[in-house]
């Protein structure tokens, strides 16, 4: 494991110079990133831009989790991969790309799905998790795991011409507070309804932005917030929501189900 720096050396000051200039960020923010571990669940359309931006920004340790391999129909939107990567594990390809971009950070690729059996290695070490999969059940499972343990979480989704981001700080209103639980019938996916490549870039980059703000401790509005983006009209909609007192994660009834 690469040790987290206590100060910034000359090379780090030059590498991160543009974000170091920000009064909201500065050297203290850069050191918080360097000392943080972030897990990216899903290395597809959202996970690729999210992980690339976090790696470029200097998050000290990135854990990339995805069981799938690169396929030809990924390449219109998952821009870290090339034609030569077809058939290779996404997590490993993305890890290699991030290491080329920023060799000063630690990147761990895990070619597996997130389950209760794998969470100890993929989720438990994280200060923050980005949920970038296209599976509603996985989103709720990751939400419950992170919320019950006080791990910051940023969830994203995109299909067709619409995308959403929900940030869940420790102790804050969570994904289950907003939606209750997975739908009885799974809605259309990108495979069914399609998606434009730049849309997943917008949403994945916004997930990375929210993640950096959570790690560094600035710019977070109180209460729950969903950001909804309509790519057709280029309009954003903000939905505020409170903690649901009947939410099983906040209420503690999930503690008998492996989420404590």
CATH code at position 228? 3.40.50.720
Confidence band for 85, pLDDT divided at 50, 70 and 90: very high
Confidence band for 184, pLDDT divided at 50, 70 and 90: confident
149 in any annotated domain = yes
4 in any annotated domain = no
Indicate the number of domains in the chain: 1
Q: Is the pTM of this model over 0.95?
A: no
Active site residue 216: no
193 in any annotated domain = yes
Work out whether strand 37-41 and strand 128-131 pair parallel, antiparallel, or are unpaired: parallel
101 in any annotated domain = yes
Q: Collect contacts of 232-239 with beta carbons under 8 A, ≥24 apart.
A: 232/161, 239/178
Distance of CA 112 to the CA centre of its chain: 16
110 in any annotated domain = yes
Residue 2 is predicted with a pLDDT of 66
| Helix and strand totals (H; E) in the chain | 11, 8
Among left, alpha and beta (phi > 0; psi -120 to 50; other), residue 69 is: beta
Residue 20 clears pLDDT 90, i.e. is over it: yes
58 in any annotated domain = yes
- The tokens describing 89, both together, are 């594990």
100 in any annotated domain = yes
User: What is the dihedral sign for C-alpha 57, 60, 64, 70?
Assistant: positive
Average pLDDT, the chain: 92
5 in any annotated domain = no
Rounded to whole angstroms, the Cα distance separating 151 from 143 reads: 9
CA atoms within 13 A on the CB side of 216: 27
Confidence band for 260, pLDDT divided at 50, 70 and 90: very low
Q: Residue 41: name the closest of 135, 180, 148 by CA.
A: 135
Rounded to whole angstroms, the Cα distance separating 185 from 191 reads: 16
Residue from 146, 174, 177, 190 carrying the catalytic annotation: 190
Which residues form the domain of 93?
10-257
Three-state secondary-structure class, residue 1: coil
């Amino acid at each position: 494991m690469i040790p987290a720096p206590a100060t910034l050396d000359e090379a780090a000051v030059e590498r991160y110079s543009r974000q170091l200039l920000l009064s909201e960020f500065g050297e203290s923010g850069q050191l918080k990133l360097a000392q943080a571990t972030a897990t990216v669940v899903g290395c597809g359309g959202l996970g690729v831009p999210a992980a690339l931006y976090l790696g470029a920004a200097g998050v000290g340790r990135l854990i990339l989790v995805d069981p799938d391999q690169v396929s030809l129909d990924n390449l219109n939107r998952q821009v870290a991969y090339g034609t030569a990567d077809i058939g290779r594990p996404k997590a490993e390809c993305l890890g290699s790309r991030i290491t080329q971009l920023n060799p000063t950070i630690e990147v761990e690729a895990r070619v597996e799905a997130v389950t209760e059996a794998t969470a100890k290695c993929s989720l438990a070490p994280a200060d923050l998790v980005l949920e970038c999969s296209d599976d509603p059940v996985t989103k709720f499972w990751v939400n419950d795991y992170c919320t019950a343990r006080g791990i910051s979480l940023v969830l994203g989704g995109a299909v067709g011409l619409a995308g959403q981001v929900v940030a869940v700080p420790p102790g804050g209103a969570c994904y289950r507070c907003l939606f209750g639980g997975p739908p009885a019938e799974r809605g259309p996916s990108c495979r069914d309804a399609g998606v434009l490549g730049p849309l997943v870039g917008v949403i994945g980059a916004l997930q990375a932005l929210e993640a950096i703000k959570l790690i560094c401790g600035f710019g977070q509005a109180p209460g729950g917030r969903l950001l909804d983006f309509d790519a057709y009209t280029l309009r954003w909609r903000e939905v505020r929501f409170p903690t649901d007192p009947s939410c099983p994660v906040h209420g503690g009834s999930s503690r008998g189900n492996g989420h404590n």
